[in-house]
Amino acid sequence: MAGYTLNKCPKCSHPIMSETECGFCGIVFEKYFQAEAKRKTEPEQITIVIKEPGNKGLVLIVSVLFIIAVGAAVYFERRSRAASAPVVIAPPVSGIHHDKVLNEKTEIPAPPLMIQAEDKSVSEGEHIQKALEGTVSVKTAWGGIGSGFFIDSHSVITNKHVVTFDDSRFDSFRNRTETNRRIIELETEKLNDLKRKFRDTPEGPAREQLRIIIERNEAEISKVLSYQKNNEETLDKINSRKSSSSVKIVMADGREFRVESISKSSTHDLALLKVYSVSGQVLDHGSTDQPLQPGQRVYAIGSPMGLNSTVTSGIFSAYRKIAGKDTTYLQFDAAINPGNSGGPLIDSRGNVIGVNTMILGNGGGIGFAIPIDVVNMEFGY
């Protein structure tokens, strides 16, 4: 604090206990006086910059206006400092001064950095909320479920496999159900044979052993019958609906709307659904001019296991080529499950960067998304 002799703080007027900074309001004296000196020299610098030959009248008017502005700024600065001094939070010089300040005014303003952090958090949350409103569940007549998002007010993007009936999986399920049905029939016949043998066996250890075996087999068959009943009902439902092209979207608020038409990509696992009975919340989906960086925060939105409006977060890892696939995928670690397919992968600003498509089997939560650039090129957005 060379060149200055102070008994009290030039900003808050409290007694000085340190030569370098005020223990009450926290200012560093050297930086404070440097800022004051810089402020005093600013009018001259600005006048020099705007002064040009042949414009004396303009210079005079600007100078007068600037002097008035500086005077007003100094006036309000002093008023602002006087008003803010009693409520500054800092390590107290003494318990007496600190207690007195808190008793005078207990409404303490948050530090500017804290306010900025809070605004950033709220802004990110608002982006996610907007993305949630523009994300839908996709339901098929045969019981399939996936996710999608509005790429324009009447168009929804999803995965092709979400709205395509899988004949191979159905055949596998049907064969398994029919095989289990035959096994249950054979086990029931064996149980009836044991019951007949039990009735013909005299009292003794052999009869008791048969009784235990019969009870155990009945319990096991009862469990399997419950599971088999559900499979039989599902099989009947699929058989009656698999030829239907009926697909619905379910909005975030629970409203359902029928899909009027479906366009499927011939080269990618993508489909475009047209829904003219509702105007949806369109998500930002411009081309990604800058490549994603490893470690960048991403969010996956969708309906895993039928739980709509689910958000999970993770990080982007890399661009990946997968064996047998022509598309370059985005690899990330945000949790996705059956039902997430077709939902948006967004960044922290709510921009769609990809379409959640698949997970790596036994891969510990590794997911893959089709880049949004592929969607834009495929469907002309």
Q: Which amino acid is at 208?
A: E
Q: Are 262 and 379 in contact (CB under 8 A)?
A: no
Q: Which long-range contacts (CB under 8 A, 24 or more apart) does 291-295 make?
A: 291/319, 292/316, 292/319, 292/330, 292/353, 294/318
**Distance, CA of 27 to CA of 333 (rounded, Å):** 46
Among 75-79, 162-166, 290-294, which is the least confidently predicted range? 75-79
Q: Which residues of 32-57 are buried (b: 16+ CB within 10 A; e: fewer)?
A: bbeeeeeeeeeeeeeeeeeeeeeeee
34 pLDDT more than 90? no
Which of 344, 297, 371, 375 minimizes the C-alpha distance to 137?
344
Residue with tokens 């608002």, as numbered in its chain: 126
7 pLDDT more than 80? no
Which of 158, 143, 137 minimizes the C-alpha distance to 272?
158
6 pLDDT more than 80? no
Average pLDDT over residues 365-377: 93
**Distance, CA of 375 to CA of 356 (rounded, Å):** 12
pLDDT of amino acid 244: 63
Share above pLDDT 70 across residues of the chain, in percent, rounded to a whole number: 69
Structure confidence at residue 240 as a pLDDT band (50, 70, 90): confident
Structure confidence at residue 123 as a pLDDT band (50, 70, 90): confident
Nearby residues of 236 by Cβ (< 8 Å), 6 or more positions away: none
34 or 60, which is more confident?
Answer: 34
Structure confidence at residue 372 as a pLDDT band (50, 70, 90): very high
Report the run of H or E that residue 175 belongs to, with start and end: helix 167-200
- Which two tokens mark 381? 């957005």
On average, the pLDDT of the chain sits at 77
317 pLDDT more than 70? yes
Q: In what order do the strands lie in the sheet with 247-250?
A: 256-258, 247-250, 135-140, 145-152, 155-158, 271-274, 261-264
- Which two tokens mark 96? 């007496």
CA-to-CA dists, residue 24 to 17, 35, 85, 163, angstroms: 9, 19, 9, 67
